[in-house]
Amino acid sequence: MELWYSENHTDNVRFSLKIKEHLFSTQSNFQRVDILDTYEYGKLLTLDGLVMVTERDEFVYHDMIVHPSMAVNPNIKNVLIIGGGDGGTARELMRYPNVQHVDMVEIDKMVVDASRKFLPTMSSELDNERVNVLYEDGVEFIKNKNNFYDLILIDSTDPIGPGEGLFTTEFYNNCFKVLKNEGILVNQNETPVYNEFFKVGISSNIKLKKMFPIVEVYQASIPTYPGGYWLFNFASKKYNPIADLKEDDWNSLGLKTKYYNTNLHIGAFSLPNYVKEKFENGNV
Ligand code: SAM
């Protein structure tokens, strides 16, 4: 008998992966957590049945949520990750010797525990002494901090369930307050391929533009995410992601990345007209 995992990207579009084995399943206080072993993409983490990361294509997402900011501001020392329970974002940050401290505020310990057990290539740096994992709601955590972080990475689920509060003006305002004067915020910003997701992305972009002087959108191709095409917001108090790219500084680090490079950085911020125009108009 064949076993398949499916995710509805819309009411009329379904994405399926053939499964070798259903390795883990539990209901935490926040969501259903599953780990499946797939033929094509290796191990897969789903939350409430939605794809979070796969072993085969996680490098795209984790390269692209981390490296663009690090190539713009080489002096990033203190970083806040909101979410990021699989550990891949923290792993990429640990490749930078100048990163002194990472607070990873993940609401669901079950996600971290499952990732430690089944996704060792992603969770490999969670015991690094520079990484401080806190099992808290990012919405609450951010409220009583001030002016501390150089970079905030919102590596969250979609705005449903616990992730909902991570897409509000109040939350972004609080993020703005805890960022230093040269601070950068990056959040995963959904896909423009399907309107339900695109609406979230545009709404998030509009809210960030109300408080950050520089807000740009960049893109990456992530096969297992809806539309295979994913966006990120780059919101900055000072640096322009293209004009202030420090190519030579970043390349001198000699980091071997599977997806990101400083030429691709330029292209990532060069959006197709149908996407660019909708962000400029502020509606889908
Ligand atoms: N790369 C994935 C994506 O783009 O959808 C995100 C992966 S990561 C597993 C998402 C994490 O956000 C989950 O572990 C979830 O528990 C966490 N999360 C959701 N809402 C949160 C909140 N309010 N505070 C902290 N973590 C939260």
Residue 160's pLDDT is: 82
Contact indicator for 45, 28 with CB cutoff of 8 Å: no
As a whole number of Å, the end-to-end CA separation of the chain is 42
Q: Which long-range contacts (CB under 8 A, 24 or more apart) does 32-41 make?
A: 33/108, 33/110, 33/111, 33/114, 35/114, 35/118, 35/119, 36/5, 38/5, 41/17, 41/223, 41/224
H or E segment to which residue 106 belongs? none
Going by alpha carbons, the residue nearest to atom 17 of ligand 1 is 83
Q: How many CA atoms lie within 13 A of 114 on its CB side?
A: 26
Residue 8 has pLDDT above 90, yes or no: yes
Contact indicator for 214, 204 with CB cutoff of 8 Å: no
From the alpha carbon of 161, which atom of ligand 1 is closest?
20
Write out the residue limits of the CATH 3.40.50.150 domain(s) in the chain: 58-281
Residue 161's pLDDT is: 84
What percent of the chain is predicted at pLDDT more than 70?
A: 100
The CA 156 to ligand 1 mean position distance, Å, reads: 3
**Domain at 58-281, CATH from 3.40.50.150, 3.40.50.720, 3.40.50.920, 3.20.20.140:** 3.40.50.150
The tokens for 58 are 């996680």
Indicate the Cα dihedral angle 224, 53, 271, 233, nearest 10°.
150
The CATH code belonging to domain 3-54 is 2.30.140.10
What is the rounded CA–CA span in Å between residue 233 and residue 212?
11
From the alpha carbon of 166, which atom of ligand 1 is closest?
23
What is the rounded CA–CA span in Å between residue 39 and residue 20?
6
> What residues are in contact with ligand 1 under a 6 Å CB criterion?
47, 52-53, 61, 82-86, 105-108, 111, 137-139, 155-157, 162-163, 165-166, 188
Does 244 participate in catalysis according to the annotation? no
pLDDT in tens, 188-233: 999 999 999 999 999 999 999 999 999 999 999 999 999 999 999 9
- Predicted TM-score (pTM) of the model is 0.97
From the alpha carbon of 53, which atom of ligand 1 is closest?
1
pLDDT in tens, 257-279: 999 999 999 999 999 999 999 99
Residue 162's pLDDT is: 87
Q: Looking at 86, 155, 248, 249, which residue is catalytic?
A: 155
Residue 145 has pLDDT above 90, yes or no: no
> Rounded mean pLDDT of 17-46?
98
The tokens for 66 are 């981390």
pLDDT in tens, 51-98: 999 999 999 999 999 999 999 999 999 999 999 999 999 999 999 999
